[in-house]
Amino acid sequence: MSTEERLTKLEMLAAEQEKTIEELSAELAEQWKLVERLQKKLDALTERFLTLEEQSTPDIPVTKPPHW
């Protein structure tokens, strides 16, 4: 294999790797956006759950036990 063929092969490989890296970077950015959206939804649901839990828990009056 000649030097020129080797250089051409390496240039093609570098170009393919650059394209792959760009595609992976774009996919990672999309996944990060999804994670952020899901985290916001989880935070909202957690807050809603805690609010509903507080509303459904009966207030227990503080009284002295009968033996006092």
Give the residue ranges of DSSP H helices in the chain: 3-56
Is the pLDDT reported for residue 68 higher than 70?
no
The chain-wide mean pLDDT, for the chain, equals 92
Q: Considering the domain boundaries, does residue 67 fall inside one?
A: no
pLDDT at 5: 96
Q: Considering the domain boundaries, does residue 66 fall inside one?
A: no
Q: Considering the domain boundaries, does residue 62 fall inside one?
A: no
pLDDT at 3: 95
The count of domains in the chain is: 1
Is the pLDDT reported for residue 15 higher than 70?
yes
Alpha-carbon distance of 66 to 68, in angstroms, equals 6
* Total residue count of the chain as it appears in this document: 68
Query: Which residue segment(s) compose the domain that 34 sits in?
Result: 1-54
Average pLDDT over residues 52-66: 77
Q: Considering the domain boundaries, does residue 68 fall inside one?
A: no
In the numeric block, which tokens belong to residue 27?
A: 């996919």
